[in-house]
Amino acid sequence: MSEIKKVVLAYSGGLDTSVIVKWLQETYNCEVVTFTADLGQGEEVEPARAKAEALGVKEIYIEDLREEFVRDFVFPMFRANTVYEGEYLLGTSIARPLIAKRLIEIANETGADAISHGATGKGNDQVRFELGAYALKPGVKVIAPWREWDLNSRDKLMAYCEEHGIAVDFAKQGKKSPYSMDANLLHISYEGGVLEDPWTASEDDMWRWSVSPEAAPDTPTFIELTYQKGDIVAIDDKPMSPATVLEYLNKVGGANGIGRLDIVENRFVGMKSRGCYETPGGTIMLRAHRAIESITLDREAAHLKDELMPRYAKVIYNGFWWSEERKMLQQMIDYSQRNVNGKVRLKLYKGNVEVVGRSSPDSLFDESIATFEDDAGAYDQQDAAGFIKLNALRMRIAAGKGRNLLDD
Q: Which of 187, 200, 338 is nearest to 249 (CA)?
A: 187
- For helices 324-336 and 299-317, the axis angle rounded to 10 degrees is 150
Number of H helices, E strands in the chain: 14, 14
The SS3 assignment for 343 reads: strand
Question: Is residue 71 flagged as an active site residue?
Answer: no
E-strand spans in 68-187? 114-116, 141-143, 180-183
H-helix or E-strand containing 280? helix 280-296
* Catalytic, out of 49, 71, 72, 180: 180
Looking at residue 407, what DSSP letter applies? G
Q: How far is CA 53 from CA 7, 33, 109, 227, 368, in A?
A: 16, 11, 20, 44, 69
Spot the catalytic one: 66, 79, 96, 358.
96
DSSP state, 186? S
Residue 231 main-chain phi, psi, to 5 deg? -110, 145
Cα angle 225-230-233, degrees, rounded to a multiple of 5: 45
Question: Edge to edge, what strands does the sheet with 180-183 contain?
Answer: 180-183, 188-191, 272-278, 260-266
Residue 125 annotated in active site: yes
From 113, 125, 182, 231, the catalytic residue: 125
Number of Cβ atoms within 10 Å of the Cβ of 397: 10
Give the C-alpha separation, 260 to 277, whole Å: 6
Catalytic residues: 16, 96, 125, 180
